Structure 1
Amino acid sequence: MNVTDTGPPRTQRFAQLYEQTYAALLRFVERRVPPSHAEDVVADVFLVAWRRLDDVPPAADEARAWLFGVAHRTLRNGLRADQRRQALTIRIADDRLTGAAAAGLDPESVARRLDLVQAWRRLSPRHQETLALAVWDGLTAPQAARVLGISPVAFRLRLTRARRALRLHADAAPATTTQPVATATTNSRSAR
């Protein structure tokens, strides 16, 4: 490495990248790991960005998507990353529901949210990740595809399947809660 590689332009570019993307990247990671680990993961991502600064796209949205991709691969390397992300997602959803009920929201609205939380829990980690990239992170299909290392067409297909799975699980939620009662009644009748 020569002196010009670490000079002010490189440092300024990295500082600008950091300022533009840190908060979004931290939110991205916090949904996937416990808050106590999120800053360590973000630090690892920015270390990669510093080392590969020439590979970071110049446009802010593209740079953010590139960093999300690095974060995704960093998290994927940990065997327990999926379990941590799912636990955090469920905890956030439950906290929102508890807060909504305490605020005196319509019981129907709270029930729909509970059904949505149950449906989310039944989704595969792959479907959860796909929906999170599109909805929570606000990435376009090409950006989200880059994060996952797939084509935009493949991402759109995954998104369609994830939405369909979420709808099916949400529609099935009330039937699932009443099913055991009906089964118990049927079993008690046959025992007579």
Structure 2
Amino acid sequence: MRERQQRQRYEEVYARTYVDLVRFVVRRGHPTDQAEDVVAEAFVVAWQRLKDLPADVGEARAWLFGITRRLLLAKQRSDTRGQALSVRIAGQAAVDGTTIEHDDLVATSVDLAHAWGRLTAMHQEALSLSVFEGLTGAQAAQVLGISSVAFRIRLSRARRLLKHGLGPPDVVVAAPDRRPADPHRMPTSSEKGYV
């Protein structure tokens, strides 16, 4: 009876997670057929560790994202040592094959892709797990192997950096009675707002 319940739980998690995991891998630059292979391998690991499969579907989903991410990192280490795992948001359509036709959406996509490309792989990963994969902070932290607090800080920084990258360029306007700011001078603590 216990084995039957575990199998049913595994099948439920498989049905609810498979497509999301394929998209997760595709967004990291792998063709769909390779993504399906990686996800199949992740589910093999999950089957082998069935007793470790969390009872909650959301937690099980996060657990599988963690397994898939580790498989990608291992594959990447064996393929090309030293390159960061990146998350792609433009250039290749998602698994569903949708395309953007409207000019404004294309321009926005280009701006977003440019700002996204300026983020570090660490910040891309934090945003991806939260936005694209829909994981909670605790689940994303579990995937990355860090604390929930560390993930919240990382996500907050990533959001701020992305927002800054999408915003209009900063314009420095000097007050009439002051010299323009020296870009090489470090601000004092009062200028940073630490007073």
**Range class of TM-score, shorter chain:** 0.7 to 0.9
- Kept in 2, the 8 Å contact 1:119–1:173? The answer is no
Aligned counterpart, 1:167: 163
Distance 2:34 2:61 in 1: 20
Normalization by structure 2: what TM-score? 0.71
Distance 1:116 1:34 in 2: 22
Distance 2:131 2:5 in 1: 35
- Kept in 2, the 8 Å contact 1:115–1:174? The answer is no
Distance 1:55 1:36, change over 3 A: same
Cα displacement (A) at 1:84: 7.4
Cα displacement (A) at 1:85: 4.7
Cα displacement (A) at 1:104: 4.0
Distance 1:39 1:173, change over 3 A: farther
Distance 2:120 2:24 in 1: 18
Q: How many residues align?
A: 162
1:150-189 deviation per Cα after TM superposition (whole angstroms, max 9, x unaligned): 01100010001111221222236799xxxxxxxxxxxxxx
SS of 2:90's partner is: helix
**Identity fraction in percent:** 46
Distance 2:89 2:122 in 1: 14
Distance 1:84 1:129 in 2: 8
Aligned counterpart, 1:149: 145
Cα displacement (A) at 1:115: 1.6
Distance 1:35 1:85 in 2: 16
Q: One-letter code of the match for 1:8?
A: R
| Runs of 4+, deviation exceeding 6 Å | 81-84, 172-175
Cα displacement (A) at 1:99: 4.5
Cα displacement (A) at 1:62: 0.8
Q: One-letter code of the match for 1:75?
A: L
**Unaligned stretches of 5+ in structure 2?**
172-195
- Kept in 2, the 8 Å contact 1:130–1:162? The answer is yes
Distance 2:19 2:68 in 1: 13
Aligned counterpart, 1:119: 115
Distance 1:39 1:167 in 2: 33
- Kept in 1, the 8 Å contact 2:62–2:135? The answer is yes
- Kept in 2, the 8 Å contact 1:56–1:66? The answer is yes
Aligned counterpart, 1:58: 55
Aligned counterpart, 1:48: 45
Q: One-letter code of the match for 1:118?
A: H
Q: One-letter code of the match for 2:89?
A: T
- Let me know the Cα RMSD of the aligned residues: 2.9
Cα displacement (A) at 1:49: 0.4
Structure that is richer in helix per residue: 1
Distance 2:126 2:138 in 1: 12
Normalization by structure 1: what TM-score? 0.72
Alignment of 1:68-83 (within 5 A): 68-77=65-74, 78-79=76-77, 80=80
